[in-house]
Chain A
């Protein structure tokens, strides 16, 4: 393996790691706060990408990349709040809530995917990137758009961490995630915090969609594969803290990049899922978790 190949594997791993970190973070805040797994997260990614395409592409509204990104994130936040009302809120006080919401979020995913196919068609599209061309720096070769997205997503994750740790609203969101009943007894507005959390998660998914859609191609089912990988990430990392899946995301990202080079595209998911099962057997609370929220 040449140094050139190693560099490109590392770049690819970094890209994947950042993407998975973003996805897993969105899944983890919903899982720790609402106590449910959102199977529509992959569809949110696709929806975010198509909204951005609609606003940004010269074939549609043609506002360019940055207004498209902003529109995608804002609209996805609104869509997240709306879907939380439709798919999750009605089942909140039921004993079988976790199971019911598995079905409702899967249904939501299917509906969103089909709507995207109906409105925009199944043909692959790409969001016009903000930067063209590659940057070459020694052995490192990365496209300008990819580098910008990595920086943007990194900054977003840091900003979210700051928001959760240092603002009163973020503190309330963490409080609800850690102990819902104590938060209720303190009179925190739990339904509103649930809606906010879900909206935030959907907005993050929108950003992930723009990231995929502007560096690769997009189809209505583009979110399915990242969702699977994010599931591996969340289980590997554990969700005791919001930060735990971020470490696991880079682990999975680099593992995927190396495995794809050594064993090929088809064996990589198999080995990743085997690894996940291994972790579940040996350390069910996740590699970086101390305790898993009980369902």
Chain B
């Protein structure tokens, strides 16, 4: 059986800085994987590349048997005494990615500041319909009862937690076949973190495959099947759930005992 998402030796970053290299990642249908690693090691850039917001430098992204990025190749060009290395970027189309059902909930997104919650929610199912998938809006909203009270307020008046809930609700209304959550509990109060964690567990229970990036090992341990440790721009280790160590122990392993 082909895996749902297959990433083969993917490299990328923001020119001229490469932030991740030779990343291999496989997500089977129904799986939930965690991506853990220090800040600034390229996790968010990796997710942005998979979503097509930036073009990968090399490698393949295959979702449900379809390659999402165009193949590209290196070209060299000589002009006078200079060698220009012209890299044809492997172009991606974020619309195509989202229509295929590979949906990302971005990190701390401000969404659309001047649009109301109701307006924002009304746009989210468009991509699901375009991709031929059906959405159960009531079930999604039942996960986030707070949003129902704020339907008429603009996104810029929402609290950080409410905005994150709105972003997650939008992600779910897109009827994801694979949901990518980038630090869903970043910068939230402990109470809100618990509320969002409950929601994520509920999403997990419905069988939607999830890739979740987070810094909270305890949260990931309860949620994921496997934990991929992201270190200096590539996945250094893959740990099954039972082998996920405590936060302190993991940090000590990654940075040495001094921490």
Contact = CB atoms under 8 A, between A and B. Distances in A.
Contacts of B105: 185
A188 B114 contact: no
A25 B130 CA distance: 31
Q: Give the most central of A174, A175, A187, A241: most B CB within 10 Å.
A: A187
Interface stretch (B1-9, B47-55, B73-81): B47-55
B173 to A, nearest CB: 9
Given A168-B122, A175-B123, A184 B94 contact: yes
B95 A190 contact: yes
B15 A185 contact: no
Interface in A171-189: 171-172, 174-175, 178-179, 181-189
B95 A187 contact: yes
Contact of A187 (B99, B119, B122): B99
Interface string A148-188: 00000000000000000000100110110011011111111
B51 A178 contact: no
Nearest to B51: A185
B53 A185 contact: yes
Interface footprint category on A: 20 to 34
A171 B127 contact: no
Contacts of A136: none
Contacts of A182: 106, 109-112, 167
B115 A186 contact: no
Nearest to A179: B112
Contacts of B167: 182
Given A186-B170, A187-B95, A188-B126, A181 B114 contact: no
B104 interface: yes
B113 interface: yes
Contacts of A172: 123, 126
Contacts of B99: 187
A123 interface: no
Interface of A: 93, 95, 168, 171-172, 174-175, 178-179, 181-190, 241
15 contacts: A171-B115, A171-B123, A174-B115, A175-B115, A179-B110, A179-B112, A179-B113, A181-B53, A182-B106, A184-B95, A186-B170, A187-B103, A187-B127, A188-B127, A190-B95
Interface of B: 15, 51-53, 55, 94-95, 97-99, 103-106, 109-115, 119-120, 122-124, 126-127, 130-131, 167, 170, 174
